[in-house]
Every structure is written in C-alpha cells, then in structure tokens.
A and B are shown apart, each in its own frame.
Chain A
Amino acid sequence: NAGVTQTPKFQVLKTGQSMTLQCAQDMNHEYMSWYRQDPGMGLRLIHYSVGAGITDQGEVPNGYNVSRSTTEDFPLRLLSAAPSQTSVYFCASSRSQGSSYNSPLHFGNGTRLTVT
C-alpha cells in the first residue's frame, strides 16, 4: 500500500495564480483532511471530508476549495494564491469509527508552497 500520496512536494507560485494540491489514499479511509503548518504554530485544519460527496470547512478555509468525488482523492485548490498562503501543506486520512473518527492518522509527506 502507498498510504497517503501528496503531490507536488514543492511549488512556487506568483500572486494570483491558481493551482491544485493532490492527495490520494489507498486505504479506503472515510475521513480526509488538509492542514497547513506555519512556523511557531500548530497544524491548522483547512478543510475536511467524512466521505465521498461530503466536505466541510475547518479553522482556516478562506482562499481554498476542496472536493471529494471519490473515496480515494481529496484535492485542495488555491483559487488565487496570496503570499499569506506560503506554508507547508499536509493531507491526512483516517478510518472513521462511528462519529468519533478515533483511529490513527496517516499523513502525506507534505507540500512546501511559496507564493511570491
């Protein structure tokens, strides 16, 4: 199993450009999520999904869109990149157990995004 695959590993964008960060998992996990990691701060939730066709906003959703057309894929779209979106982005998945989603987390290797 590949686990959680995140691409690209590095990306540089100019202000105003759009792009999609890809995330795929092969573990049939219901729960998938996107986080950003900034210096001096804990991981912050951008968007999450509890299953195909269902997405919801996290703590810092502005400037990002997601979709979940399949169980495996959960892409994150930057609509119009801004320097404030310079960060390291992580995708994570877990098996849901009822409504508590208390199962181990599986993370992708991260995408380091720089917006100039």
Chain B
Amino acid sequence: KNEVEQSPQNLTAQEGEFITINCSYSVGISALHWLQQHPGGGIVSLFMLSSGKKKHGRLIATINIQEKHSSLHITASHPRDSAVYICAVRESQGNLIFGKGTKLSVKP
C-alpha cells in the first residue's frame, strides 16, 4: 500500500475552472509539501504546511491532520498552471515520502 496517495492521477480542465487535487497519507507526519513540476522537468516548492490553510495567489493548500488529508486548490485556472503536482509528507522520523503526482492539463 502506498503511504501517500494522490487523486486524481490525471486531470484535464478548461481555463477558468476551479481545480482540486487531493493527497491522503497513512503515516504520522510533521509537515506536508506541495510541489510543482513543469514539463521542462524542474521542481518548485509551492507550500509547506503542518496545519490549517495557506494561500499564495490563486493557489490554496489545506491540511486536516486528524483525517490525514490535504488538498491543493487552484482558482481561475490558466494554461500556464499545466504541470505535475506532487504531494510529499515528512514522516515523524524525518524521511520524506512522495506521492506519484497529479498531471494537470488546462485547456484554453
């Protein structure tokens, strides 16, 4: 069983749509990261959170520690948001475990 599960695996949206990507995990964690990987391959850190909610521009990340679940929301999606979004959790012992990623494609 994967310790970090993301859904959906693939997501196609029309420009302007509200997007939600989910991440569920089964281990005790000290933090959760959301990362973005563009088609060129580079990986960028979007959020690191251990409770509650964070917002940066059109991106919002939430986490529910009790339910072991996090969501990444994108409001007013744009084709430049097309990328792979990766959830990673920092185990209580210190190791990072990565999800397999959600491939998002936003059509104009």
A35, A58, A104, A110: which contacts B42 (Cβ < 8 A)? A110
Residue A99, interface by CB 8 Å? yes
| A43 interface residue per 8 A CB criterion | yes
User: Are B50 and A45 within 8 A (Cβ)?
Assistant: no
Complex formed: what's the CA distance from A35 to B44 in Å?
15
B94 CB, nearest partner CB in chain A, Å:
6
Bits for B43-58, please: 1 = Cβ < 8 Å to A, else 0: 1110010100000000
The answer to whether A45 touches B96 (Cβ under 8 A) is yes
User: B86 in the interface, Cβ–Cβ < 8 Å?
Assistant: yes
In chain B, residues 1-49, which have Cβ atoms closer than 8 Å to a Cβ of chain A? Answer: 2, 4, 30-31, 33, 35, 40-45, 48
Nearest neighbor of A102 in chain B, beta-carbon distance: B31
Interface assignment of A1: CB less than 8 Å from any CB of chain B: no
Number of A residues with CB within 8 Å of any CB on chain B: 24
Check B85 for interface membership: any CB of A closer than 8 A. no
B50 to chain A minimum Cβ distance, whole angstroms, is 7
**Does A42 sit at the interface, judged by CB under 8 A?**
yes
Stretch among B59-67, B70-78, B97-105 lining the A interface: B97-105
Q: Is the CB of B44 within 8 A of A101?
A: no
Looking at the complex, which one of B42, B86, B99 makes contact with A109 (CB distance below 8 Å)? B42
A105 interface contact, C-beta 8 A: yes
From B43, which residue of chain A is reached at the shortest CB distance?
A: A107
Contact indicator B31/A100 (Cβ below 8 Å): yes
Contact between A103 and B48, CB atoms less than 8 A apart: yes
**Residue of A40, A90, A104 ringed by the most chain B CB atoms within 10 A:** A104
Cβ of B41 and Cβ of A88 under 8 Å apart? yes
Binding site for B on A (CB under 8 A): 33, 35, 40-45, 58, 88, 90, 92, 99-107, 109-110, 112
Interface residue ranges, B against A (CB under 8 Å): 2, 4, 30-31, 33, 35, 40-45, 48, 50, 86, 88, 90, 94-101
